[in-house]
Amino acid sequence: MSKIVLDTVYRHPPERVWRALTDPQELAAWLMPNDFAPRVGHKFQFRDKPQFGWRGFVEREVLEVDPPRRLRYSWLGDEKGPVMTVTWTLEAVGGGTRLVLEHTGFRGLGGWFVRRIMGRGWGKKLRKLLPDVLDGKRVGPAECH
């Protein structure tokens, strides 16, 4: 099994980063439109335009909520694919927040390709789109690409 691990530091306090990860409007501005609620057991979806090889939505369930330190949810991007897990860990560091994303559950050769594609997508979102939301520069829906 392979995984994506991205480790980033933002100049915002953990409470601010937590809000960007859990508020549906802020989450939509850097990731995808959603019906998220930070409640264990809550089932939700991220939605966007369908693309070749992707049905246009991701089914999820909140597995863990420990504000503002840890958030974990399942991820099912394709009804035939494996159920994966996304874990966000936040840690206060001098003048900001260390955010670690761990996306696990990629299997086989197909999983290797999906992990590579998703790794680039997560990287863009964490390097550009999320910082724009944290800085108040982005308020509209995120683009999937």
Would residue 63 count as lying in a domain?
A: yes
Which pLDDT belongs to residue 83?
Answer: 85
Range of the domain at 78: 2-134
Residues 6+ apart with CB under 8 A from 62: 36, 37, 38, 39, 40, 41, 42, 43, 44, 71, 72, 73
CATH of the domain at 60: 3.30.530.20
Q: How confident is the model at residue 45, as a pLDDT?
A: 84
- Residue 75 belongs to some domain of the structure: yes
Asked if residue 24 belongs to a domain, the reply is yes
- Over the stretch 65-88, which tens digit does the pLDDT of each residue have? 999 999 999 987 666 677 889 999
Residue 140 maps to a domain: no
Q: Does residue 10 fall inside a structural domain?
A: yes
Gap between the Cα atoms of 49 and 90, Å rounded: 30
Q: Judge whether 143 lies within some domain.
A: no
Instruction: Give per-residue pLDDT as tens, 36-45.
Output: 999 999 998 8
**Can you tell me the distance from the alpha carbon of 48 to that of 33, in angstroms, rounded to the nearest whole number?**
7
pLDDT for residue 141: 72
For residue 145, the model assigns a pLDDT of: 45
Domain contains 36: yes
Does the predicted TM-score (pTM) go above 0.95?
Answer: no
Number of domains, the chain: 1
Question: Is 142 within a domain?
Answer: no
pLDDT < 50 stretches in the chain:
145
Order of strands across the sheet that contains 96-106: 2-10, 96-106, 84-93, 70-75, 57-66, 43-47
